[in-house]
Chains A and B, each alone.
Chain A
Amino acid sequence: MEQLTQLDAVMLARIQFAFTVAFHIIFPSFTIGLSAWIATLLVLWRRTGAEHYRDLARFWTKIFAVSFGMGVVSGIVMSYEFGTNWSHFSLVVGNVVGPLIGYEVLTAFFLEATFLGILLFGWNRVPPGLHVTAAILVAVGTLFSAFWILSANSWMQYPAGHRVVDGIAYPDDWLAITFSPTFHFRFAHMVLAAYITTAFVVIATGARYLLAGVHRPHAMTMLHMGLGLAAVLVPLQIIAGDESGRDVLHYQPAKLAAIEGKWDAGTDGPVPLVLFALPDEEQERNLYEYSVPYLGSLIVTRSWDGGFAGLKAFAPDDRPPVLLPFFAFRVMVGIGVIMFILVFWGAIVWARGNIERSRFYLRLASLSWPLGFLAVLCGWVVAEVGRQPWVATGILRTRDAASPISAQDVATSLILFVIVYAIVFSAGLIYMNRLIRKGPEEEQPTEGVANRPLMAAAAGPTSEG
């Protein structure tokens, strides 16, 4: 009975972590790209003097402010959750993972949070050069943050540079820890994902304005820059994702087997590519499988008949759950394909100079804003569920990582989180949508109207000197 309660507490803690981290990652995915976009616009404005760059920067800064605020507060939750819900994790890997998070706070959080003040409130109040610098520093801060958190997470995926004594991990080589084997492509994959996510929000917003026939110059700039960026980054992302998949093959074969839906233990090729199936963990086989021969080998091993281990090669206790990584991966890749099509279709339409008349394309593009977020969430589901049953592979199992707290306490806090996040998230979405509907303001706000949309963005040109 006691055992059962403890197990429930772990499950509830996992649900809570999944919920809070999924909620949180949405905002960094957006703000990493958005801060870079704002910094770019401000630099362009400084160099060309074209006012619409400035209007756009101002406009997106308002949305950034709302999004960043939600990211900050949901991020603070994460930094304490390691202790409240996962105290054993904190203890066992704290010597190694703790410092990485420490460096994130020191190099990223303060930088972002402090210069955010100048970015939001510095319009007309600080010298323009300082304002642009602040925007760049915020963007750099978000990148640093991504660097360290991916470093910590990659170490958990495939630990390196450490030793384990009496079940506790100790650091041996900080360079090897920081740049663990899976880090490089995972970091690239995440940063690209963040930029692409933002690009699609920008594209969708531009398309929305063109459809409505408003803010034409701004909309054209957004489409132009958004499509241009995505046209470069989406192909790069496919490469980064593929390379990251190669790392999974080498370092996390059980995760790969779950992603591919491959059951048989043997490593003989050729392996088909399972396009669709319903993996059945009880029977250890796929139901309703639809697959393409040889393609699995080709994609995973880059040879016509290469093979890799299936799930049965691993003890049931060492296998990740199959269903979630399997489907999440397919949704992620599917979104990647849709993005690829949208971007190149858009590029062609743009090149022919008739994007404003291609209403069908614009309508599709205007609906594309959630794509990046969905792909990011699915990608993290693949990464994190695929890592199970380990929280730090080979060192600590998830079931042993939780805090000694009662299932009831975890359930209470979980319910509270769900309620609070539901309120905050829907409000944030409504307000961001409201800001987007309103669109960029072409004139510089003056004192009279400055009390409007967002205190941050509306900080007027007053009290100078």
Chain B
Amino acid sequence: MDAIAFWLPVVWAVLIATAVVMYVILDGFDLGIGILFPFARNGTDRDTMIGSIAPFWDGNETWLVLGGGGLWVAFPAAYAAIMPANYLPVIIMLLALIFRGVSFEFRAVSKPRHGAWTVAFSVGSIVAAFAQGVILGNLIHSVGGAASRSDTLVSQWTVPLSAEIDRLNDLVVLPEWLSLFGILCGLGLVAGYALLGATWLMARTGGGLAEKSRRQARFLLVVVLIFIAAVSLWTPLEHEKIEERWFSIPNIYFLWLLPAITVIVALSAWRAIRSKAEVKPFVASILLFLLCYIGLGISVFPLIAPPDLTIWDAAAVPESQIFTLIGVLIMLPIILAYTAFVYWTFLREGKVVAGAGYH
């Protein structure tokens, strides 16, 4: 393999990973608002909550199109394998995003009879987040799958635990596209987005809403950490290739750093939320997401699609990757610049206040 054939897919994998992480963080906090909707105190708070994300959600969601489109452009074979394999979760996610997306305008324009769109906004957000988690779970599941069980530092403990998981999987009857692991990831992502949403509200609103969000964030942080722990343990237990990646020598000498940093970030998130800091909890929550994401990358790289397609197997021809890469290199800085500019335009006005500003 010459250098171009080696590096182009790597560059593209990094780019797509960046698009996905941009999506997860940006649409994460605005999906989080929808997830928190049922727990809002009243309609005024809901208006403020939705108002805090209304100018941004559309741009945020475009990263999802870039992630999906980028996957097609750069790795057509992976796109062609992943999408049909996740048929129903993807369709359900899209339908949920439709309900949620139109609710921004429909809810405002149908006032005062906007109850149905309040529900649609919330349910759409929750279902979309859950479906994304399920897709993630399926992806890990399908590429991390069974390899010949190798001996790692910890296999004497993991073998019996893996057997437990297998038994659990046998016990529960689920449709083909859903697994216990997928459900775990789905719930984890719902909680994670809600945490991003709550900490966003801590930064962007004031008064009772901010205080309520702070209490929610504290609770959600604990829930999210439990999910992170559960997924982090379950992943290597059920997926032998991933167990080998993490627990074989010498990998483990370096990789223990990741959970260690996660613990530190989690503690600082906790302290930031406790101390009623405004922006720090949001930043810490984003860091938690990034750490999980790096962990995911370590688990699966360089595999991209089931059963064992690597980024090099699935890559489009270099001509196609280069042609689009030129566009990315020119446009991405511009996109990032004007996205930042639009955020700055609205954020510098200060906090979103009930009944004013956005309404």
Identify the A interface with B (CB < 8 A): 62, 65-66, 69-70, 72-77, 79-80, 82-85, 87-88, 90-91, 94-96, 98-99, 101-107, 109-111, 113-118, 120-122, 125-126, 130, 170-171, 174, 403-405, 409, 412-413, 416-417, 420, 424, 427-428, 431, 434-435, 447, 450-456, 458-460, 462-465
Does the CB pair A409–B87 fall under 8 Å? yes
Instruction: Give the distance to chain B from A132, nearest Cβ to Cβ, in Å.
Output: 14
When distances are taken between beta carbons in the complex, the residues of chain A under 8 Å from B70 are 102, 105
Does the CB pair B87–A84 fall under 8 Å? yes
Does the CB pair B83–A98 fall under 8 Å? no
- Which residue of chain B is the closest to A75 with respect to CB atoms? B65
Q: How far is the CA of A121 from the CA of B106 in the complex (A)?
A: 16
Does the CB pair B79–A90 fall under 8 Å? yes
Pull 7 A–B residue pairs with CB atoms less than 8 Å apart, ordered by A. Answer: A85-B84, A90-B83, A118-B55, A121-B55, A125-B346, A409-B88, A434-B109
- Which residue of chain A is the closest to B76 with respect to CB atoms? A94
Does the CB pair A413–B87 fall under 8 Å? yes
Task: Indicate with 1 or 0, residue by residue over B328-359, a CB within 8 angstroms of chain A CB atoms.
Answer: 10011001001100100110011001011111
Identify the B interface with A (CB < 8 A): 47, 50-51, 54-56, 58-59, 61-62, 64-66, 68-74, 76-77, 79-84, 86-88, 90-92, 94-95, 97-99, 101-102, 104-111, 316-317, 319-320, 323-324, 327-328, 331-332, 335, 338-339, 342, 345-346, 349-350, 353, 355-359
Residues A170 and B94 in contact in the complex (CB < 8 Å), given A451-B359, A456-B54: no
Q: How far is the CA of A232 from the CA of B79 in the complex (A)?
A: 44
Q: How far is the CA of A114 from the CA of B57 in the complex (A)?
A: 9
Q: How far is the CA of A83 from the CA of B89 in the complex (A)?
A: 13
Residues A453 and B109 in contact in the complex (CB < 8 Å), given A82-B72, A105-B62, A106-B332: yes
Does the CB pair B105–A171 fall under 8 Å? no
Q: How far is the CA of A325 from the CA of B293 in the complex (A)?
A: 49
Of A82, A99, A427, A465, most B-chain CB atoms within 10 Å: A99
Q: How far is the CA of A451 from the CA of B50 in the complex (A)?
A: 13
Of A85, A95, A404, most B-chain CB atoms within 10 Å: A95
When distances are taken between beta carbons in the complex, the residues of chain A under 8 Å from B51 are 455
Residues A459 and B59 in contact in the complex (CB < 8 Å), given A102-B70, A118-B342: no
Q: How far is the CA of A170 from the CA of B59 in the complex (A)?
A: 32
Residues A458 and B62 in contact in the complex (CB < 8 Å), given A73-B98, A84-B87: no
Interface on chain B toward A: helix, strand, loop, or mixed SS? helix
Does the CB pair B83–A84 fall under 8 Å? yes
Instruction: Give the distance to chain A from B23, nearest Cβ to Cβ, in Å.
Output: 11
Of B92, B332, B359, most A-chain CB atoms within 10 Å: B359
Of A69, A76, A80, A435, most B-chain CB atoms within 10 Å: A80
List 5 additional contacts besides A73-B102, A91-B77, A118-B55; criterion CB under 8 Å: A90-B80, A117-B54, A420-B95, A420-B99, A454-B105
Does the CB pair A83–B80 fall under 8 Å? yes
Does the CB pair A91–B59 fall under 8 Å? no
When distances are taken between beta carbons in the complex, the residues of chain B under 8 Å from A114 are 58-59, 62, 335, 338-339, 342
- Which residue of chain B is the closest to A464 with respect to CB atoms? B349
Does the CB pair B80–A88 fall under 8 Å? yes
Residues A101 and B73 in contact in the complex (CB < 8 Å), given A413-B88, A455-B51, A456-B108: yes
Q: How far is the CA of A162 from the CA of B331 in the complex (A)?
A: 25
When distances are taken between beta carbons in the complex, the residues of chain B under 8 Å from A101 are 69, 72-73
When distances are taken between beta carbons in the complex, the residues of chain B under 8 Å from A170 are 317, 319-320
When distances are taken between beta carbons in the complex, the residues of chain A under 8 Å from B86 are 84
Question: Which of A66, A95, A459 lies in contact with B319, CB distance below 8 A?
Answer: A95
Q: Which 9 A-B pairs have the closest CB atoms?
A: A83-B83, A94-B76, A117-B55, A455-B108, A87-B80, A73-B101, A403-B84, A98-B73, A102-B73
Q: How far is the CA of A14 from the CA of B355 in the complex (A)?
A: 47
When distances are taken between beta carbons in the complex, the residues of chain B under 8 Å from A79 are 65, 68-69
Question: Which of B74, B80, B90, B349 lies in contact with A80, CB distance below 8 A?
Answer: B90
Instruction: Give the distance to chain B from A23, nearest Cβ to Cβ, in Å.
Output: 10
Does the CB pair A95–B55 fall under 8 Å? no
When distances are taken between beta carbons in the complex, the residues of chain A under 8 Å from B106 are 66, 69, 427-428, 431
Question: Which of B47, B59, B83, B350 lies in contact with A403, CB distance below 8 A?
Answer: B83
